[in-house]
Amino acid sequence: MSILKIVRNNAKSVLLRCNEPHILLISSRKLSIVPSIYDGEDPAPKFFSSGIQVLLKRLTRPDFAKIFRKRNNTNVSVLRTPKYKFVTDEELHIEKMKANKSADRLLQMPPVVKVHTPIDDVLSRDPALTEFDSARYLFTDISFGVDNEHRMIVEREPDGTLRSCDHEVRKRLNQIYFPMQGRKIREPLIFENEEKFYSLLERQKYEYVLDRTCVQYEPDEPTYHKLTSITYQHVDLNSLYDLLRSTRHFGPLAFYLTWHKCADSLMLELLQGGAIREAVLLLALRQAVHSDLNNGEESTTLVSQIYFPMQGRKIREPLIFENEEKFYSLLERQKYEYVLDRTCVQYEPDEPTYHKLTSITYQHVDLNSLYDLLRSTRHFGPLAFYLTWHKCADSLMLELLQGGAIREAVLLLALRQAVHSDLNNGEESTTLVSQILPTPVQLTKHEKLSEEDIQLDTKCIECVEKYINTNSAMKSQQGLALQGFREYYQQLVELNRGLKKAHGSA
């Protein structure tokens, strides 16, 4: 190329004066671009994870006007004329669903995987075939229905060695026998000629370059990584992200910049454009890939609240939780279920605030022995577990004995044994559980008793009595409650046996 042509291609205006020395400085940004390929840690597990895929799709910012724009397609001689129809609301909804599916298909991102390793698989060495021929023989399995990457392709070298073909030979043979539309056997001129390649980048034909790259190369080829890396860096250097938005290449671009920790220009572009929520998405993507942000958990939480809102959850903390006076007012009014329901909606189960609010509520219920307000709700199980875990379930045990729920008292002992294994009669309570669970739930006191019920309840009374004598922190209160239940139960047993004796089995 002549110097004059170089000048015209790289300068806006050129002034030539004859017979005078000239110093020409040509700035070329392409010289500063060094390809960065995925040759270390495999990015595929993180790229294909559901959370990162959701973030990348949201960052793509799908725009139907761009996705379904008219394109010059060499396979179609005439552009299709759009059709206009009068449709009902139901039909319009169906058409929108079809459009969303088509958009998802068109925005399917090219995979991001690690560069493949060379194939060095020697199958056999046959010295008898040495110098049989000066050419290499290639053997290809051309069976239909076999994936190209799993197809058996081997070569016999002149020295008699039989080995598996390397990736480049496999690609050429697969293209010969099973041609992929748009892929050339020889490398296209736009990739082979560096000048033409950079000319396309300077003309901002990024989508065209990336589309051709995806067709010509496999995602694990070094050339694919090199070309996409240079293109992404050229986009980043010129902050031309909008040219790839609403295309299938924006997700891999954002992932590339995040993976190599060079997404600050993209962050700046988002902030300048007022896309503050997408900036948070980018932070969440950085946290998901590298987990190195100080406020990474905060960004992840904001993403779930802003883009995937849960019904009933507020971005700001509700007043009933922010104002301590209002919170305790609800507890004093015994609105336990309401408080716990709101807590479950507003906070995740592993948040400190969730633990704090539920703990205070459980303790308030326990102090006032208002367990019935949470019975038959989804919160009674966590309440019983909380009291058992912290070894403060004696008030609940007392309430069960006073209510005559002797079998539930044994279940509470079995729960204590399962959690802490510190009861002297723990094995006995665990054995009784298998006999109690098949029986109906005891909602009221017994009115009629069978001999099986009497035997089971007698064992339960003995089990609870042993616990009171050895492990209980409320021996006197629980002892009196158990004695009262025993006397009532004895009267009920005598009454049932008397009726049975008087009237028979009828």
CA-wise closest residue to 425 among 485, 487, 474, 472: 472
**What is the identity of the amino acid at 261?**
K
Q: Are strands 137-140 and 161-164 parallel, antiparallel or unpaired?
A: unpaired
* The pLDDT value given to residue 84: 87
What tokens does 167 get? 């990736």
pLDDT-derived band at 381 (thresholds 50, 70, 90) equals very high
CA atoms within 13 A of residue 80's CA, in its CB half-sphere: 10
Question: What is the average pLDDT across 459-487?
Answer: 90
Q: Which residue has the higher pLDDT, 123 or 25?
A: 123
* The pLDDT value given to residue 374: 94
CA-wise closest residue to 415 among 435, 440, 395, 386: 386
The DSSP code for 150 is G
* Residue that has been written with the tokens 């500063």 in this structure: 32
* Contact of 145 with 287, CB cutoff 8 Å: no
Question: What is the average pLDDT across 423-451?
Answer: 81
* Contact of 426 with 470, CB cutoff 8 Å: no
* Contact of 302 with 280, CB cutoff 8 Å: yes
CA-wise closest residue to 386 among 408, 365, 401, 411: 365
Question: What is the average pLDDT across 65-92?
Answer: 78
* The pLDDT value given to residue 319: 85
In whole angstroms, give the CA distance from residue 451 to residue 7: 107
Q: Which residue has the higher pLDDT, 302 or 84?
A: 84
Could you tell me if residue 377 is left (phi over 0), alpha (psi between -120 and 50 degrees) or otherwise beta?
beta
Which residues are paired to 125 by β-bridges? 161
Question: What is the average pLDDT across 12-35?
Answer: 58
* Contact of 64 with 103, CB cutoff 8 Å: yes
Question: What is the average pLDDT across 99-120?
Answer: 91
Sheet containing 153-156: which strands, arranged edge to edge? 122-125, 161-164, 153-156, 137-140
Whether this model's pTM surpasses 0.75: no
Looking at the predicted structure, is the pLDDT value of residue 309 above 50?
yes
SS3 call for 392: coil
For the chain, the distance separating the N- and C-terminal CA atoms, rounded to the nearest angstrom, is 114
pLDDT-derived band at 492 (thresholds 50, 70, 90) equals confident
Considering the chain, what percentage of its residues have pLDDT values greater than 70? 89
Which residues are paired to 122 by β-bridges? 163
What tokens does 454 get? 């009497």
What tokens does 417 get? 């044994």
* The pLDDT value given to residue 1: 45
Looking at the predicted structure, is the pLDDT value of residue 224 above 70?
yes
CA-wise closest residue to 317 among 370, 292, 326, 150: 326
Burial 58-96 (b: 16+ CB within 10 A, else e): bbbebeeeebeeeeeeeeeeeeeeeeeeeeeeeeeeeee
How much helix, strand and coil, in percent to the nearest 5, is found in the chain? 60, 5, 40
Q: Which residue has the higher pLDDT, 21 or 285?
A: 285
What tokens does 220 get? 């694990």
Residue 482: which H helix or E strand, with range?
Answer: helix 475-503
Residue 184 burial (C-beta neighbours within 10 Å; 0-12, 13-18, 19+): middle
